[in-house]
Amino acid sequence: MSDRHLTACWNCETRLPRTAFKDYRCPLCGARNDPPAVFLFLALAFLGLMMGWLGGMAYGAIVRVVGWDLGWALAGQVGAILGAVVIGGLGFVAAFLLALRNAAANRDKEVLLRGAEIRRARAEHESVMKVTARSTGEPLA
């Protein structure tokens, strides 16, 4: 079964199936089409929350067996907060660095010029098709 979701390039505005973008690069102009960096931050923050909660619950259960007066639920809550803060903080730094890398890669003059050329050629082709359709009387698709 093929992927039917279309992805648009930000540079040349080409719409192609998602599978055509190898390594998040547009096959026509070469621009990077990475997902927004905020998704990396949110994924790592959620991962930290879950790992911290599970680790805190395990720690609370072990400590309860040893005899300390610490419940597994309280330890799970503290672990969830600490995990979200620590791993979410690492995710924020990683997302910031990824955003900087994407911004630097998207300022490449050659890629921008290729995208402008593709957009110009597409607009020219569409205007020729409109003139041809008007002259022949065919409806525009």
Burial class (CB in 10 A: 0-12, 13-18, 19+), 28: middle
Q: Cβ distance 56 to 75 under 8 Å? A: yes
Per residue in 79-138, pLDDT tens? Answer: 999 999 999 999 999 999 988 988 888 888 888 898 899 889 988 888 888 877 777 766
Q: How confident is the model at residue 141 (pLDDT cuts 50, 70, 90)?
A: low
Which amino acid does the sequence have at 25?
Answer: R
Look at residue 81 in the predicted model and tell me its pLDDT: 92
**Which has the closest alpha carbon to 36: 118, 102, 85, 83?**
102
Query: Are the beta carbons of 83 and 53 closer than 8 angstroms?
Result: yes
* Stated pTM of the model: 0.65
pLDDT tens, position by position, 35-91: 888 888 999 999 999 999 998 988 888 888 888 888 888 888 899 999 999 999 999
Residues contacting 60, CB < 8 A, separation 6+: 70, 71, 72, 73, 74, 75, 76
Q: How confident is the model at residue 2 (pLDDT cuts 50, 70, 90)?
A: low
Alpha-carbon distance of 108 to 54, in angstroms, equals: 44
Chain centroid, CA 64 distance in Å: 42
Question: What pLDDT sits at residue 1?
Answer: 47
Give the residue carrying structure tokens 């910031």: 96
- Residue 3 scores a pLDDT above 70: no
